[in-house]
């Protein structure tokens, strides 16, 4: 029971966070030396930095055709939109699911489907509020296109936000990856867009909370019937 309770509060940390925690801890030590109340403030900041870079174990649902959420956060937009040209997903509007991540969400990004990475494309840009619709076009972004076994493709785009200043992508074209595998990370608040194949209906609604690697966004093999969201 003790081990279970400990694992509830203490999560593994992604390697990208080690130097940031080390810097925060060093600053905290100086703060304690200068003035103890300031040191406690620094300690709180150090804990938050660790918490930001947490990388918990996720259990990805198994099943042909399942599209899994690539990010923790809230569905902020659900609409038809033209995918970024650099992802080679065609020139027709596709259903786009936008997931907004606050600075309190886990920011490790996971692949929504199993398949082969066919394109990775970075584009510099602005740092507007990631919850805005125009952030998809104007903000710094990194897109990944994945081709599934049936030949269809799904695009997932990491978008920098108002606070985010660094997009990290760990995959390259040609890699074969499983659904739920880690593919990137964005530092300090951002958004992810998922572009579904033509004709695929999402199973989520605006305002719904997402869990990266676990929440099902769509079922490519199931009946394409929308599930209306009901707030309670």
Q: What is the set of active-site residues?
A: 190
* Helical packing angle, 36-52 and 18-34, nearest 10°: 170
Long-range contact list for 54-59, CB < 8 A, 24+ apart?
54/11, 54/12, 54/13, 54/14, 54/106, 55/11, 55/12, 55/13, 55/14, 55/106, 55/108, 55/182, 56/11, 56/12, 56/106, 57/12, 58/110, 58/180, 58/211, 58/212, 58/213, 58/214, 59/213, 59/214
Helix (H, G, I), strand (E, B) or coil at 216: strand
């Amino acid at each position: 029971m003790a081990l279970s309770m400990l694992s509830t509060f203490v999560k593994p940390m992604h390697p990208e966070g080690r130097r940031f925690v080390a810097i925060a801890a060093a600053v905290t030590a100086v703060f304690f030396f200068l003035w103890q109340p300031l040191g406690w403030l620094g300690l709180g900041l150090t804990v938050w930095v660790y918490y930001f870079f947490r990388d918990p174990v996720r259990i990805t649902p198994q099943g042909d055709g399942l599209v899994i959420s690539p990010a923790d956060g809230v569905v902020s937009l659900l609409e038809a939109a033209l995918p970024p040209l650099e992802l080679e997903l065609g020139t027709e509007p596709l259903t786009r699911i936008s997931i907004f991540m606050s600075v309190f969400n886990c920011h490790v990004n996971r692949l929504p489907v199993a398949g082969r990475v066919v394109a990775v494309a970075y584009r510099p840009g602005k740092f507007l509020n990631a919850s805005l619709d125009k952030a998809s076009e104007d903000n710094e972004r990194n897109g990944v296109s994945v081709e599934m076994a049936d030949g269809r493709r799904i695009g997932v785009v990491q978008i920098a936000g108002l606070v985010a200043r660094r997009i990290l992508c760990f995959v390259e074209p040609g890699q074969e990856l499983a659904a739920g595998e880690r593919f990137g990370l964005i530092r300090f608040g951002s958004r992810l867009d998922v572009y579904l194949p033509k004709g695929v209906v999402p199973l989520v609604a605006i305002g719904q909370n997402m869990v990266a690697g676990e929440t099902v966004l769509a079922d490519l093999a199931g009946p394409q019937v929308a599930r209306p969201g009901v707030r309670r």
